[in-house]
Structure 1
Amino acid sequence: MDKYAVIVAGGKGMRMGTAIPKQFLPLADQPVLHHTIKAFLTAFHDIHIILVLPADQVSYAQMILQSFPERIDMTIVTGGETRFHSVQNGLKACGENSVIFVHDGARPLITSDLIQRCHEQALQVGSAIPAISVAESMRLVEDEKSVPINRDHLRIIQTPQTFRSEIILPAFQQQYIEMFTDEATVVEAHGTKVFLVEGERSNIKVTTPEDMVIATALLNDRMQYD
């Protein structure tokens, strides 16, 4: 089966406080997106990379292509009004009879091991949604009251959310509703059960300057052992 990685990079860098969108900021001397894409190319040399960017950021794509010493095959797609519409646009570039990964461009610490685990599970049961347990105490806040929640029943959801094409492609033909916060909710609304897979705590989403500090430390530590 073919493999496609739809990498959605729609950040504007507002919380990062930079003029350059966060996915293009330097991380260990390379743009954040370089590390994200490299992980997929390392996991599967034959994977098709589909990069979804806002219309006003498409010009940055050349920066990503030039960050690789070898030529890479990458399709650039313009994003939409919401994440749902951006993913929907990216999926139009995917073929049938395939496994499709949908990943946040601002998760540059994704490992090839997790990508391969997601692929294997999606082949077996149709989907793989990376999730990690909650380490902190949690409370549900309603109005001015709060109640404790059993954290054993909670999971933090990550990407790449991975599906066989016959599951995700028809699901994204639905009309958009606000409850579609990720690909799993879209697939579930279409009537298909999704399956979790163990994620990785290092698979953080880079959103703030503090996240960049953490990502740099984790990446430098990882590179020492590569």
Structure 2
Amino acid sequence: MKNFSLLVVAVASSIALVTEAHVSFRFPCPRRASYNECPQPKSDSDWNLVDYDSISPVGSFNGINDPIPKHPASFPGNRPVFTAGLNVNTTYEVDAPHNGGTCQWTLSYDNGKTQVVIQDWFRNCLRDAKHGRRYTVSVKIPANAPSGPALLTWLWNNNEGSREMYASSADVVIQGSNGGSISGVAPAFCNYGPGSCFIAEEVVAGGNWGEVYFKNRKNITITVPPK
């Protein structure tokens, strides 16, 4: 009986290692996503640019699959307007939550070249999400966020399964101050290519979810000139 129990644990662990969690933004729309409510190509020649796999990881500790942001631009269309100082109910397409993980949300005003973290959810992000169901997280736009087109990015390191990084980037418009600065920390890109910070599976690491990497993120200030 003891040997059988050990076999069950071993099999379960191996399944967790080879099964990938798949999650992405649903609202706001991730760039070039195939969701019906998202901006669609305006010409027949652009349909090959549609991202039919927006829920897959952008990379793992072993390699980078896609840059962050994954695509250089969205298809033309209306961007959601978010008011500085207010909360936004972001939603996620969840294929498998893999016992949660650590999420970072960032804002960028230069197409992702510089990003500042506006909200964290350590360790338990998506832990209570359900397979095949959409999930909602309230994200607060900083009160001092400058007005203008911006890129909202969600980053996630899962607790169980392959050691991966998930990311979704969405074009939005911030309604806030006319110019100004927003300060915080730059995001940690863990499990995103060789040489990146490595976060082991939570069960293997004895509960170590990479806290030290997030504590050591560098301070950053993004300044947007007035219009």
Task: Give 1 or 2: higher strand fraction.
Answer: 2
Q: TM-score, normalised by structure 1?
A: 0.28
State which structure, 1 or 2, has the greater radius of gyration over its C-alpha atoms. 2
Q: TM-score, normalised by structure 2?
A: 0.28
